[in-house]
Homo-oligomer: A and B are copies of this chain.
Amino acid sequence: MQTLKTDTRKRILNVSKRLFLKKGFRETTTRDIAREAGINLSNLYHYFASKDELFCQLLKPATNTLEAMLNEHHGIKGVDILSMQEEGYVEATLEEYMDAIRKYRNLLKLLLFKSQGSSLEGYKEYYVEKATRLVLDWLRAMKTKHPEINTDVSGFFVHLNNVWMFTLLEEVLMHDLTEEEVRSVMSDYIQFEVIGWRKMIQI
């Protein structure tokens, strides 16, 4: 009996994940992937248009989540600047990061450490830039709403802030911290950030 389309596709993705993790995007050949997936090399191209597309598809869940977090967390969408004072907000944000790492630990590793040569190799920079722009826009909006707060924050500061976050993420992944350790480090980090943030905008 012929393997179901999804089976083969799934197998390719699983094998890819393993190989990309081991050797990185560039050093992993399509031949390796096909061989280990037990399929013909050309057949791989029935499922994915190119090696790059395969990589992007593989990372889709992780990048989707990151995009979502980008919009919601640094959220231009409705979160009021004053709500950052509430306890629950910090908790929620923490959980979001935790979830992402719990679910996509390996995909995030791929994205941050193993993507060179692929079209995702600049993802971190792209993400940080986008986040920075969103936050700055949001700050401007908040200024209109709450003219009393200080939103005179340099772009570079916001930028650096986002970079710290990614660096932390990278360290957590690189050193394979346990969930307990991650939680502890993350908690410190987010508190530090929120507090610093409040102070900065003087609310």
Contacts and interface: CB of A to CB of B under 8 A. Distances in A.
Which of A156, A174, A185 is packed against the most chain B CB atoms within 10 Å? A156
A154 B26 CA distance: 36
Copies of this chain, tallied across the complex: 4
A40 interface: no
A163 interface: yes
Interface of A: 26, 116-117, 125, 156, 159-160, 163-164, 167-168, 171, 174-175, 177, 181, 185
A160 B168 CA distance: 8
Nearest to A117: B26
Contacts of A117: 26
5 contacts: A26-B117, A156-B181, A159-B171, A160-B185, A167-B167
Given A116-B116, A185-B156, A171 B163 contact: yes
Contacts of A116: 116
